[in-house]
Amino acid sequence: MPELPDVEQMRSNMKKVGGKKIESVHVNKNRMFKVSDSTIRRHLVGNRITKVIRHGKYLFAQISDGTLLVLHFGMTGDIVYGKNRYDHRILGLEYSNGKNLNIVSVRKLGIVDVTDDIDNYISKKGIGPDALRISKEEFRRTIGSSSGFIKNVLMDQKKMAGIGNIYADEILYQSNIHPKRRINKLKDSEIDDMYQTMLRILKLAIRHNADPDNYPQTYLISNRKEGACCKKGHIKKIRVNGRPTYYCPDIQK
C-alpha cells in the first residue's frame, strides 16, 4: 500500500488527529526501531505533534520538543486512529480522550527513528528529491543520467523518492512506454510527457485519498490483472527487477 499517495494520505490523517498532547506511548519493540524505546518515550510523552512532513515514502512528524519522529512503512505499514486497534501495532500514541494514533505493520518491515534534521536524514540515506516536488529540469537530468530499464529508474528512491511498483506501472501505462524500455532509447518528448503524466497521476491519487476504488476505470491500477482489457489490447504480466509488472503490449512500446 504505502507509496507516495498512500503516505500522503497517512500524513494528512496524522496531522488531523495527532496534534493533541501525548499522554503515554506504547512501544512494541522490533527490528523496525532504530532507537531505544526509552528514547522514543522521552521525545513523545508529554509533547505533541505540531506538523507532519512527507518526503517520498517517509513521514517526519515534528515533535514539540524540536525533534522529529521518522516513519517508513515498508510494504504493509499504516496509520490507524481510534480505539482498540492493537492488531500488529508497532507504536501507539495515547491521548487523554482515550484514543490512540497507531503505527501498524503486519510484516514489520520499515523504520521508526528519531532525527533533528530532515535534510540531513534524507541526504545521509541518499534519498532523492520527492516526486511531487521535482522540477522538470531535475527530472530530465535524473532520467538522462541513468541507464537500464525505465521502470527501475522511476522506482529508485535514490534518484527520485515516492514511486513504487504500482504507480511506476501506472505512469508507464499512461505514457505508452514499455517498462523495460532502455533509458537511452527514450526521446526527450517522452521524458517530458512522463513527467507531466507522473504529476497528474500522483495528484489525482491524492485527491482521491489514495483509494484506488475512486480512480478512473481507465487507470491500469483498476485493471491490474493478467488478461484484463485495456482500450487497445489486454494486460500482460511480466517481471522487472523481480517485481510483478503489468502493462499493455499494444500501447506500451
Partner DNA sequence: AGCCCTGTTGCCGA
Partner DNA sequence: ATCGGCAACAGGGC
Closest distance between DNA and the C-beta of residue 23, in Å?
28
**Residue 90 grid coordinates:** 508497532
Rounded Cα distance between 223 and 232, Å, is 13
Closest distance between DNA and the C-beta of residue 30, in Å?
8
DSSP 3-state percent helix, strand, coil across the chain (nearest 5): 35, 25, 40
Mask for 152-191, x = binds DNA (CB under 7 A): x--x-x------xxx-------------------------
Residues 92-121 that bind DNA (CB under 7 A): 106-109
Residues 131-150 that bind DNA (CB under 7 A): 146-149
Shorter beta-carbon distance to DNA: residue 34 or 200: 34
Q: Which of 243, 249, 250, 251 binds DNA (CB under 7 A)?
A: 243
Please report whether residue 244 would count as binding DNA according to CB under 7 A: yes
Task: Compute φ and ψ for 185, nearest 5 degrees.
Answer: -100, 5
Strand order in the sheet with 89-95: 22-27, 89-95, 100-105, 77-82
Closest distance between DNA and the C-beta of residue 234, in Å?
17
**Contacts with 48 (C-beta within 8 Å, 6 or more apart), sequence order:** 19, 20, 21, 22, 63, 64
Please report whether residue 232 would count as binding DNA according to CB under 7 A: no
One-letter amino acid at 45 equals V
Helices (H), the chain: 4-17, 37-44, 118-125, 136-144, 150-155, 165-174, 188-207
Question: Where does this chain touch DNA (CB under 7 A) — which range of 12-20, 61-69, 194-202, 236-244?
Answer: 236-244
Closest distance between DNA and the C-beta of residue 102, in Å?
16
Rounded Cα distance between 189 and 49, Å, is 43
Residues in contact with DNA by the rule CB under 7 A: 1-3, 31, 56-57, 72, 74-75, 88, 106-109, 125, 146-149, 152, 155, 157, 164-166, 212, 221, 239-244
